[in-house]
């Protein structure tokens, strides 16, 4: 049997290795971008974009939590992993929501553990909540709504209609193992006010390639380049050996003059983030996987002494009214409502309503 050598890694060496972790799995290739790659105009366009979303984001957060929530004072920095980690709390809830088309690249939100618990408590209307699977699912829904609004705003401002993101992936980890992009990336620090004196910092990270492409599109760099290329193509168009210049397209006197046309594309809001073709193909790999589906007639809460006193014949009153739809859950998550039916000699349930994502969040009690 082989024996381990005495050269085992110390805790300090392990921490040093963990500090070198990067995500490497974003929606696009991670390319090192120095802060000098961003012009002042591009940095201003980027921070103006995040400022422009604050009011709507605050209103959405207030609606979801039922509290007066405000998101304010975004501060933009362009730096690397070591500098960025210094501002994080010891444990953070990381929500990874990479852009997979439009401006592909890494995109994540980071919330202090206490802040994530406070958000989940407001959403679930429950104090002293733990960051279990249900609570992190709630955080994922919150970030999904935020990203959806950002995508709609980016679409309207840049004209890029192909922007989409992957479904949020939530984890709660020590800051030393947070998977951040390689190189210099864009970090936005917000102040999150949940009311009742609950104030937290919250961070958003854009990978180098995504940040630079978005900044250039917002500042007009990408559009100007495209327009310039189109003009050059028209000006130098070759038709069957005949060179056709822009100067030859106007006719003096009473002739026809072809001037620039004011053509604008119609912008439709992106209703919600959706996966690309690869994501749609990958779901086929799990189509034959079983999931637990249950039907819940109702719930109630009892003191321990009441539970211990139960015996045969005890009647337990539930929180559902007679004839009220029952809840249909998949892996303990509410997805639909229905009515109880009898099929031969077995109970069944007829689906009467599919629960929307917003309703799922409001029912997470």
- pLDDT of 202 reads 92
- pLDDT of 217 reads 93
- pLDDT of 324 reads 86
- pLDDT of 100 reads 92
- pLDDT of 267 reads 54
CB 163 within 8 A of CB 99: yes
Tokens of 4: 């381990």
- pLDDT of 184 reads 87
DSSP code for 198: -
User: What pTM value is reported for the model?
Assistant: 0.55
- pLDDT of 283 reads 65
- pLDDT of 268 reads 53
Distance, CA of 270 to CA of 181 (rounded, Å): 26
- pLDDT of 262 reads 55
Q: Which residue pairs from 80-87 have beta carbons closer than 8 angstroms and sit at least 24 positions apart in sequence?
A: 80/183, 80/184, 80/185, 81/19, 81/22, 81/180, 82/19, 84/180, 84/185, 84/187, 84/203, 84/205, 85/19, 85/175, 85/176, 85/178, 85/180, 87/189, 87/201, 87/203
Residues (pLDDT < 50) of the chain are 1-7, 10-13, 16, 19-34, 223-258, 272-274, 365
- pLDDT of 347 reads 86
Cα four-point dihedral sign 105, 111, 113, 116: negative
| Residue tagged 């009473």 (tokens) | 254
Residue 289 CB neighbour total at 10 angstroms: 6
Sketch out the chain's domains with CATH numbers: 18-217 (3.40.1550.10), 287-362 (2.30.330.10)
CB 334 within 8 A of CB 360: yes
Burial-class residue 59 by CB neighbours within 10 Å (0-12, 13-18, 19+): middle
- pLDDT of 221 reads 67
């Amino acid at each position: 049997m082989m024996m381990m050598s005495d050269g085992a890694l110390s805790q300090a060496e392990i921490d040093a290795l963990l500090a070198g972790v990067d995500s490497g799995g974003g929606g696009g290739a991670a390319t090192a971008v120095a802060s000098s790659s961003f012009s002042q105009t591009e940095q201003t366009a980027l921070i103006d974009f995040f400022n422009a979303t604050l009011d709507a984001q605050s209103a959405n957060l207030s609606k979801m939590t039922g509290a007066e929530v405000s998101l304010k004072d975004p501060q933009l920095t362009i730096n690397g992993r070591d500098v960025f980690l210094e501002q994080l709390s010891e444990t953070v809830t990381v929500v990874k929501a990479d852009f997979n088309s439009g401006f592909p690249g890494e995109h994540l939100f980071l919330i202090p553990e206490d802040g994530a618990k406070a958000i989940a408590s407001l959403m679930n209307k429950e104090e002293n909540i733990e960051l279990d699977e249900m609570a992190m699912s709630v955080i994922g829904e919150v970030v999904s709504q935020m990203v959806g609004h950002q995508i709609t705003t980016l679409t309207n401002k840049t004209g890029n209609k192909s922007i989409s993101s992957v479904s949020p992936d939530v984890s709660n980890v020590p800051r030393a193992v947070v998977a951040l992009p390689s190189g210099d990336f864009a970090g936005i620090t917000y102040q999150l006010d949940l009311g009742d004196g609950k104030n937290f910092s919250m961070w958003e990270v854009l990978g180098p390639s995504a940040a630079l492409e978005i900044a250039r599109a917002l500042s007009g760099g990408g559009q100007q380049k495209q327009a310039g290329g189109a003009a050059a193509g028209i000006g130098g168009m070759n038709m069957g050996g005949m060179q056709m210049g822009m100067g030859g397209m106007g006719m003096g006197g009473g002739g026809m003059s072809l001037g620039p046309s004011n053509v604008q594309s119609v912008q439709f809001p992106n209703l919600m983030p959706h996966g690309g073709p690869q994501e749609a193909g990958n779901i086929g790999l799990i189509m034959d996987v079983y999931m637990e589906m249950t039907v819940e007639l109702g719930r109630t809460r009892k003191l321990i002494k009441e539970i211990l006193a139960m015996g045969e014949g005890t009647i337990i009153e539930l929180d559902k009214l007679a004839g009220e739809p029952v809840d249909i859950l998949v892996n303990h998550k509410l997805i639909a409502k229905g009515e109880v039916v009898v099929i031969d000699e077995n109970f069944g349930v007829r689906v009467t309503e599919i629960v929307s994502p917003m309703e799922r969040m409001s029912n997470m009690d």
